[in-house]
Amino acid sequence: MLPTLGFVVLWTSPKKTDNMLAMSEPNPTLVWETITAHQRSAALKAGVELGVFDALSKGPITAAELARNAGVAERPMRILCDFLAVHGLINKADGHFCHTPTSAAFLDSHSPASMAPTLPFLMNDKLIKATHLLTETIRQNRTALDEPLAGDETREWVTFARTMQPMMRTAAEFIAGVILRAGMPAKVLDVAASHGLFGITVARLAPQCEIVALDFPSVLEVTAENARAAGVRITLLPGSAFSAELGTDYDAVIVTNLFHHFDRTDNITLMKRFHAALRPGGLMVILEFVPNEDRISPPVPASFSLMMLANTPGGDAYTMAEYCQMLDAAGFGTREIIDVPGSAQQLIVASA
Protein backbone atom coordinates (compact mmCIF):
# COMPACT_ATOMS: atom_id res chain seq x y z
CA MET A 1 0.00 0.00 0.00
CA LEU A 2 1.54 3.27 -1.09
CA PRO A 3 1.19 6.38 1.04
CA THR A 4 -1.60 8.58 -0.26
CA LEU A 5 -1.00 12.12 -1.41
CA GLY A 6 -2.55 15.03 0.40
CA PHE A 7 -3.43 16.84 -2.82
CA VAL A 8 -4.88 16.17 -6.23
CA VAL A 9 -2.45 16.15 -9.11
CA LEU A 10 -3.26 16.26 -12.77
CA TRP A 11 -0.41 15.54 -15.13
CA THR A 12 -2.85 15.20 -17.97
CA SER A 13 -2.43 16.65 -21.43
CA PRO A 14 -2.36 20.42 -21.18
CA LYS A 15 -5.11 21.94 -23.28
CA LYS A 16 -4.94 25.53 -22.16
CA THR A 17 -2.39 27.77 -20.54
CA ASP A 18 -4.41 30.87 -19.80
CA ASN A 19 -6.52 32.31 -17.07
CA MET A 20 -9.49 30.14 -17.98
CA LEU A 21 -8.08 26.92 -16.66
CA ALA A 22 -6.26 28.28 -13.67
CA MET A 23 -9.36 27.97 -11.60
CA SER A 24 -10.50 24.46 -10.95
CA GLU A 25 -7.83 21.92 -10.03
CA PRO A 26 -4.08 22.04 -9.36
CA ASN A 27 -2.30 21.67 -12.67
CA PRO A 28 1.42 20.85 -12.48
CA THR A 29 1.59 20.82 -16.27
CA LEU A 30 0.92 24.56 -16.30
CA VAL A 31 3.85 25.07 -13.94
CA TRP A 32 6.12 22.81 -15.96
CA GLU A 33 5.07 24.52 -19.22
CA THR A 34 5.83 27.90 -17.70
CA ILE A 35 9.20 26.81 -16.33
CA THR A 36 10.15 25.54 -19.79
CA ALA A 37 8.40 28.25 -21.84
CA HIS A 38 11.74 29.81 -22.79
CA GLN A 39 12.29 26.74 -24.97
CA ARG A 40 9.22 27.59 -27.05
CA SER A 41 10.65 31.01 -27.93
CA ALA A 42 14.01 29.50 -28.81
CA ALA A 43 12.46 26.75 -30.93
CA LEU A 44 10.46 29.25 -32.96
CA LYS A 45 13.61 31.31 -33.54
CA ALA A 46 15.61 28.23 -34.53
CA GLY A 47 12.84 27.18 -36.91
CA VAL A 48 13.01 30.54 -38.64
CA GLU A 49 16.81 30.64 -38.66
CA LEU A 50 17.08 27.13 -40.11
CA GLY A 51 14.45 27.71 -42.80
CA VAL A 52 11.95 25.20 -41.44
CA PHE A 53 8.84 27.31 -41.98
CA ASP A 54 9.91 28.41 -45.45
CA ALA A 55 10.59 24.82 -46.49
CA LEU A 56 7.06 23.78 -45.48
CA SER A 57 5.61 25.91 -48.27
CA LYS A 58 6.38 23.08 -50.70
CA GLY A 59 4.09 20.68 -48.84
CA PRO A 60 4.59 17.79 -46.39
CA ILE A 61 8.25 17.10 -45.77
CA THR A 62 10.25 14.78 -43.50
CA ALA A 63 12.73 15.80 -40.82
CA ALA A 64 15.46 14.19 -42.95
CA GLU A 65 14.58 16.43 -45.91
CA LEU A 66 14.34 19.51 -43.69
CA ALA A 67 17.74 18.64 -42.25
CA ARG A 68 19.31 18.30 -45.71
CA ASN A 69 17.69 21.58 -46.68
CA ALA A 70 19.27 23.32 -43.68
CA GLY A 71 22.59 21.50 -43.88
CA VAL A 72 22.23 19.97 -40.42
CA ALA A 73 21.94 16.43 -39.03
CA GLU A 74 18.57 14.71 -38.90
CA ARG A 75 18.42 14.10 -35.13
CA PRO A 76 18.38 17.74 -33.98
CA MET A 77 16.04 18.75 -36.83
CA ARG A 78 13.62 15.95 -35.92
CA ILE A 79 13.65 17.02 -32.27
CA LEU A 80 13.10 20.67 -33.22
CA CYS A 81 10.20 19.90 -35.58
CA ASP A 82 8.52 17.53 -33.12
CA PHE A 83 8.75 20.25 -30.49
CA LEU A 84 7.24 22.82 -32.85
CA ALA A 85 4.43 20.36 -33.59
CA VAL A 86 3.79 19.69 -29.88
CA HIS A 87 3.35 23.41 -29.39
CA GLY A 88 0.98 23.86 -32.30
CA LEU A 89 3.34 25.82 -34.53
CA ILE A 90 3.45 23.22 -37.31
CA ASN A 91 1.60 19.98 -38.04
CA LYS A 92 2.91 16.43 -38.13
CA ALA A 93 1.17 13.50 -39.77
CA ASP A 94 2.60 10.18 -40.95
CA GLY A 95 6.13 11.31 -40.21
CA HIS A 96 5.78 14.40 -42.40
CA PHE A 97 5.66 18.00 -41.27
CA CYS A 98 3.43 20.61 -42.87
CA HIS A 99 2.11 24.10 -42.31
CA THR A 100 -0.70 25.02 -39.99
CA PRO A 101 -2.78 28.00 -41.14
CA THR A 102 -0.85 30.00 -38.52
CA SER A 103 2.63 29.00 -39.67
CA ALA A 104 1.66 29.54 -43.32
CA ALA A 105 0.39 33.06 -42.61
CA PHE A 106 2.82 34.26 -39.94
CA LEU A 107 6.03 32.20 -40.00
CA ASP A 108 6.67 31.45 -43.66
CA SER A 109 8.61 34.34 -45.16
CA HIS A 110 6.76 33.83 -48.45
CA SER A 111 3.66 35.23 -46.71
CA PRO A 112 3.20 39.03 -46.76
CA ALA A 113 2.09 38.83 -43.11
CA SER A 114 5.10 36.81 -41.98
CA MET A 115 6.40 37.79 -38.56
CA ALA A 116 9.66 35.91 -39.21
CA PRO A 117 11.46 39.10 -40.31
CA THR A 118 10.67 40.70 -36.93
CA LEU A 119 12.67 38.17 -34.90
CA PRO A 120 16.04 39.94 -35.22
CA PHE A 121 14.40 42.70 -33.18
CA LEU A 122 11.83 40.88 -31.05
CA MET A 123 14.27 38.17 -30.03
CA ASN A 124 17.50 40.14 -30.08
CA ASP A 125 20.12 39.35 -27.46
CA LYS A 126 19.38 42.47 -25.43
CA LEU A 127 15.67 41.67 -25.08
CA ILE A 128 16.44 38.09 -24.08
CA LYS A 129 19.03 39.29 -21.58
CA ALA A 130 16.54 41.77 -20.13
CA THR A 131 14.10 38.92 -19.52
CA HIS A 132 16.83 36.93 -17.81
CA LEU A 133 17.51 39.91 -15.49
CA LEU A 134 13.88 40.30 -14.43
CA THR A 135 14.25 39.75 -10.69
CA GLU A 136 17.11 42.25 -10.52
CA THR A 137 15.06 44.70 -12.60
CA ILE A 138 12.17 44.44 -10.15
CA ARG A 139 14.54 45.06 -7.24
CA GLN A 140 15.90 48.16 -8.98
CA ASN A 141 12.49 49.37 -10.26
CA ARG A 142 14.15 49.99 -13.63
CA THR A 143 15.68 47.76 -16.27
CA ALA A 144 18.85 46.04 -15.10
CA LEU A 145 20.21 46.42 -18.64
CA ASP A 146 23.20 48.73 -18.81
CA GLU A 147 21.80 50.28 -21.98
CA PRO A 148 17.98 50.38 -21.79
CA LEU A 149 15.73 50.05 -24.79
CA ALA A 150 13.95 53.36 -24.44
CA GLY A 151 14.61 56.93 -25.54
CA ASP A 152 18.23 56.70 -26.62
CA GLU A 153 19.80 56.03 -29.98
CA THR A 154 20.87 52.38 -29.91
CA ARG A 155 21.51 49.94 -32.72
CA GLU A 156 18.39 47.98 -31.71
CA TRP A 157 16.26 50.83 -33.10
CA VAL A 158 17.91 50.40 -36.47
CA THR A 159 17.12 46.67 -36.27
CA PHE A 160 13.57 47.60 -35.30
CA ALA A 161 13.28 49.86 -38.34
CA ARG A 162 14.64 47.18 -40.63
CA THR A 163 12.41 44.39 -39.35
CA MET A 164 9.13 45.50 -37.84
CA GLN A 165 7.13 46.57 -40.88
CA PRO A 166 5.29 43.24 -41.30
CA MET A 167 3.64 43.64 -37.91
CA MET A 168 2.70 47.27 -38.60
CA ARG A 169 1.19 47.16 -42.08
CA THR A 170 -2.40 46.70 -40.97
CA ALA A 171 -2.14 49.41 -38.34
CA ALA A 172 -0.49 51.81 -40.79
CA GLU A 173 -3.38 51.46 -43.21
CA PHE A 174 -5.88 51.91 -40.43
CA ILE A 175 -4.14 55.02 -39.06
CA ALA A 176 -3.98 56.63 -42.50
CA GLY A 177 -7.70 56.01 -42.85
CA VAL A 178 -8.43 57.65 -39.51
CA ILE A 179 -6.36 60.72 -40.39
CA LEU A 180 -7.96 61.13 -43.82
CA ARG A 181 -11.43 60.68 -42.32
CA ALA A 182 -10.85 64.08 -40.65
CA GLY A 183 -10.02 65.75 -44.00
CA MET A 184 -7.09 65.75 -46.42
CA PRO A 185 -4.03 66.63 -44.29
CA ALA A 186 -1.42 69.18 -45.40
CA LYS A 187 1.26 68.38 -42.83
CA VAL A 188 1.75 65.28 -40.69
CA LEU A 189 4.45 64.54 -38.12
CA ASP A 190 5.48 60.88 -37.78
CA VAL A 191 7.16 60.63 -34.36
CA ALA A 192 9.67 57.82 -33.81
CA ALA A 193 9.12 57.16 -37.49
CA SER A 194 11.42 54.12 -37.61
CA HIS A 195 10.70 52.18 -40.83
CA GLY A 196 8.54 55.14 -41.87
CA LEU A 197 5.58 53.00 -42.79
CA PHE A 198 3.00 55.15 -41.01
CA GLY A 199 4.04 58.36 -42.76
CA ILE A 200 4.61 56.59 -46.07
CA THR A 201 1.10 55.14 -45.97
CA VAL A 202 -0.38 58.61 -45.39
CA ALA A 203 1.80 60.02 -48.18
CA ARG A 204 0.48 57.43 -50.62
CA LEU A 205 -3.13 58.36 -49.91
CA ALA A 206 -2.46 62.13 -49.60
CA PRO A 207 0.33 62.88 -52.08
CA GLN A 208 0.24 66.65 -51.44
CA CYS A 209 0.77 66.21 -47.70
CA GLU A 210 4.16 67.03 -46.18
CA ILE A 211 5.30 64.11 -44.05
CA VAL A 212 7.91 64.96 -41.40
CA ALA A 213 9.66 61.87 -40.04
CA LEU A 214 11.30 62.28 -36.62
CA ASP A 215 13.81 59.73 -35.38
CA PHE A 216 17.47 59.25 -34.56
CA PRO A 217 19.90 59.86 -37.45
CA SER A 218 20.92 56.19 -37.75
CA VAL A 219 17.27 55.16 -37.91
CA LEU A 220 16.31 57.84 -40.46
CA GLU A 221 18.65 56.21 -42.95
CA VAL A 222 16.23 53.28 -42.99
CA THR A 223 13.21 55.62 -43.13
CA ALA A 224 14.71 57.40 -46.14
CA GLU A 225 15.47 54.12 -47.90
CA ASN A 226 11.94 52.90 -47.42
CA ALA A 227 10.44 56.20 -48.57
CA ARG A 228 12.55 56.10 -51.74
CA ALA A 229 11.51 52.49 -52.35
CA ALA A 230 7.87 53.51 -51.90
CA GLY A 231 8.30 56.48 -54.23
CA VAL A 232 7.16 59.08 -51.71
CA ARG A 233 8.86 62.24 -50.40
CA ILE A 234 9.50 62.49 -46.66
CA THR A 235 11.10 65.36 -44.72
CA LEU A 236 13.67 63.95 -42.31
CA LEU A 237 13.87 65.45 -38.82
CA PRO A 238 16.79 63.89 -36.95
CA GLY A 239 16.74 63.93 -33.15
CA SER A 240 14.89 62.92 -30.01
CA ALA A 241 11.18 63.47 -29.48
CA PHE A 242 12.12 65.15 -26.20
CA SER A 243 14.34 67.82 -27.73
CA ALA A 244 14.01 68.18 -31.52
CA GLU A 245 12.45 71.34 -32.99
CA LEU A 246 9.18 69.81 -34.12
CA GLY A 247 7.71 72.76 -36.03
CA THR A 248 4.04 73.77 -35.90
CA ASP A 249 0.70 73.61 -37.69
CA TYR A 250 0.52 69.86 -38.11
CA ASP A 251 -2.86 68.40 -38.97
CA ALA A 252 -1.85 65.18 -37.30
CA VAL A 253 0.95 63.80 -35.15
CA ILE A 254 1.37 60.03 -35.32
CA VAL A 255 2.83 58.55 -32.15
CA THR A 256 3.24 54.81 -32.51
CA ASN A 257 4.59 52.57 -29.75
CA LEU A 258 6.44 55.40 -28.07
CA PHE A 259 4.68 56.26 -24.82
CA HIS A 260 5.03 52.73 -23.40
CA HIS A 261 8.79 53.32 -23.04
CA PHE A 262 8.39 56.17 -20.53
CA ASP A 263 6.81 57.05 -17.22
CA ARG A 264 3.77 59.30 -17.05
CA THR A 265 5.72 62.46 -16.30
CA ASP A 266 7.87 62.01 -19.39
CA ASN A 267 4.79 61.19 -21.45
CA ILE A 268 3.03 64.37 -20.37
CA THR A 269 6.17 66.30 -21.37
CA LEU A 270 6.06 64.63 -24.80
CA MET A 271 2.31 65.14 -25.21
CA LYS A 272 2.67 68.86 -24.42
CA ARG A 273 5.31 69.12 -27.15
CA PHE A 274 3.04 67.36 -29.64
CA HIS A 275 0.09 69.52 -28.58
CA ALA A 276 2.15 72.64 -29.29
CA ALA A 277 3.08 71.28 -32.73
CA LEU A 278 -0.53 70.61 -33.76
CA ARG A 279 -2.85 73.20 -35.28
CA PRO A 280 -5.96 73.82 -33.19
CA GLY A 281 -8.23 70.83 -33.71
CA GLY A 282 -5.36 68.76 -35.09
CA LEU A 283 -5.17 65.11 -34.10
CA MET A 284 -2.66 63.16 -32.08
CA VAL A 285 -3.00 59.54 -33.21
CA ILE A 286 -1.52 57.08 -30.71
CA LEU A 287 -0.95 53.41 -31.51
CA GLU A 288 -0.45 51.46 -28.31
CA PHE A 289 -1.04 48.35 -26.25
CA VAL A 290 -3.89 49.49 -23.98
CA PRO A 291 -4.94 46.92 -21.39
CA ASN A 292 -8.35 47.05 -19.77
CA GLU A 293 -8.63 48.75 -16.39
CA ASP A 294 -8.24 45.35 -14.68
CA ARG A 295 -4.73 45.29 -16.22
CA ILE A 296 -4.96 41.54 -16.86
CA SER A 297 -6.97 41.60 -20.11
CA PRO A 298 -6.76 41.26 -23.03
CA PRO A 299 -3.73 38.99 -22.66
CA VAL A 300 -1.45 40.56 -25.26
CA PRO A 301 -1.71 44.24 -24.22
CA ALA A 302 -1.78 43.30 -20.53
CA SER A 303 1.34 41.14 -20.89
CA PHE A 304 3.17 43.91 -22.71
CA SER A 305 3.74 45.76 -19.44
CA LEU A 306 6.32 43.19 -18.46
CA MET A 307 8.31 43.72 -21.65
CA MET A 308 8.51 47.40 -20.79
CA LEU A 309 9.39 46.64 -17.18
CA ALA A 310 12.24 44.43 -18.34
CA ASN A 311 13.66 46.74 -20.99
CA THR A 312 13.07 50.35 -19.95
CA PRO A 313 13.74 52.59 -16.95
CA GLY A 314 10.09 53.47 -16.31
CA GLY A 315 7.80 52.29 -19.10
CA ASP A 316 4.47 50.52 -18.90
CA ALA A 317 1.37 49.57 -20.87
CA TYR A 318 -1.06 52.29 -19.78
CA THR A 319 -4.81 51.91 -19.46
CA MET A 320 -7.24 54.28 -21.16
CA ALA A 321 -7.91 55.96 -17.81
CA GLU A 322 -4.20 56.67 -17.49
CA TYR A 323 -4.04 57.98 -21.05
CA CYS A 324 -6.97 60.27 -20.28
CA GLN A 325 -5.13 61.68 -17.24
CA MET A 326 -2.00 62.29 -19.32
CA LEU A 327 -4.01 63.82 -22.17
CA ASP A 328 -5.81 66.10 -19.70
CA ALA A 329 -2.51 67.22 -18.21
CA ALA A 330 -1.14 67.97 -21.69
CA GLY A 331 -4.20 70.03 -22.70
CA PHE A 332 -5.83 67.69 -25.21
CA GLY A 333 -9.59 67.83 -25.76
CA THR A 334 -11.80 65.06 -27.06
CA ARG A 335 -10.37 61.58 -27.34
CA GLU A 336 -11.56 58.21 -28.53
CA ILE A 337 -10.17 54.68 -28.42
CA ILE A 338 -10.54 52.34 -31.38
CA ASP A 339 -9.55 48.68 -31.74
CA VAL A 340 -7.24 48.26 -34.70
CA PRO A 341 -8.65 45.42 -36.79
CA GLY A 342 -6.19 42.58 -37.30
CA SER A 343 -3.98 43.80 -34.47
CA ALA A 344 -3.68 43.43 -30.71
CA GLN A 345 -3.23 47.18 -30.46
CA GLN A 346 -5.54 50.12 -29.95
CA LEU A 347 -5.66 53.58 -31.48
CA ILE A 348 -6.21 56.56 -29.25
CA VAL A 349 -7.18 59.68 -31.19
CA ALA A 350 -7.03 62.96 -29.26
CA SER A 351 -7.70 66.46 -30.59
CA ALA A 352 -5.58 69.51 -29.78
Q: Exposed, middle or buried by CB within 10 Å (0-12, 13-18, 19+), for 272?
A: middle
45 binds its own copies (CB under 8 A): yes
Beta-sheet pairing, 278-288 with 335-339 = unpaired
Q: Cα 3–8–10 angle (5° rounding)?
A: 115
335 binds its own copies (CB under 8 A): no
Does residue 60 interact with its own copies by CB under 8 A?
no
- Measured CA to CA in angstroms, residue 187 lies from 20, 80, 271, 330 at distances of 47, 50, 18, 21
Question: Within positions 216 to 255, which residues make up the interface with its own copies, using CB under 8 A?
Answer: none
- In whole angstroms, how far apart are CA 32 and each of 29, 84, 177, 314? 5, 17, 45, 31
Report the residue number, 49 or 249, with the smaller CB distance to its own copies.
49
Q: Does 325 bind its own copies (CB under 8 A)?
A: no
Q: Does 21 bind its own copies (CB under 8 A)?
A: yes
Among 54, 68, 76, 275, binds its own copies (CB under 8 A): 76
Does residue 123 bind its own copies (CB under 8 A)? Answer: yes
Minimum distance from residue 41 beta carbon to its own copies (Å):
4
Minimum distance from residue 214 beta carbon to its own copies (Å): 25
Helix spans in 51-106 (H): 52-55, 63-70, 74-86, 101-106
Interface pick for its own copies out of 102, 248, 265, 334 (rule CB under 8 A): 102
Contact in structure between 288 and 345 (CB atoms under 8 Å): yes
Identify which of residues 2 and 243 has a Cβ nearer to its own copies in the complex.
2
> Taking CA 124 as the corner, what is the angle to CA 120 and CA 125, rounded to the nearest 5 degrees?
150
98 binds its own copies (CB under 8 A): no
Q: Among 91, 109, 154, 325, which residue sits at the site for its own copies (rule: CB under 8 A)? A: 91
Q: How far is CA 50 from CA 2, 61, 80, 101, 272, in A?
A: 48, 15, 10, 20, 47
Q: How far apart are CA 196 and CA 280, in angstroms?
A: 25
Rounded to a whole number of angstroms, the minimum distance from the CB of residue 124 to its own copies is 11
129-148: contacts with its own copies (CB under 8 A): 131-132, 134-135, 137-139, 141
Strand, helix or coil for residue 27: coil
Which one, 139 or 155, has the nearer CB to its own copies?
139
Which residues have a Cβ under 8 Å from the Cβ of 158 and sit 6 or more positions away? 218, 219, 221, 222
Smallest gap from Cβ 204 to its own copies, in A, equals 10
Report the site for its own copies in 264-303 (rule: CB under 8 A): 294-300, 302-303
Closer residue to its own copies in complex, CB, 276/321: 321
Angstrom distance (rounded) from CA 197 to CA 180: 16
Binder to its own copies among 61, 122, 278, 283 (CB under 8 A)? 122
Q: Is 310 in the site for its own copies (CB under 8 A)?
A: yes
Nearer to its own copies, 135 or 243 (CB): 135
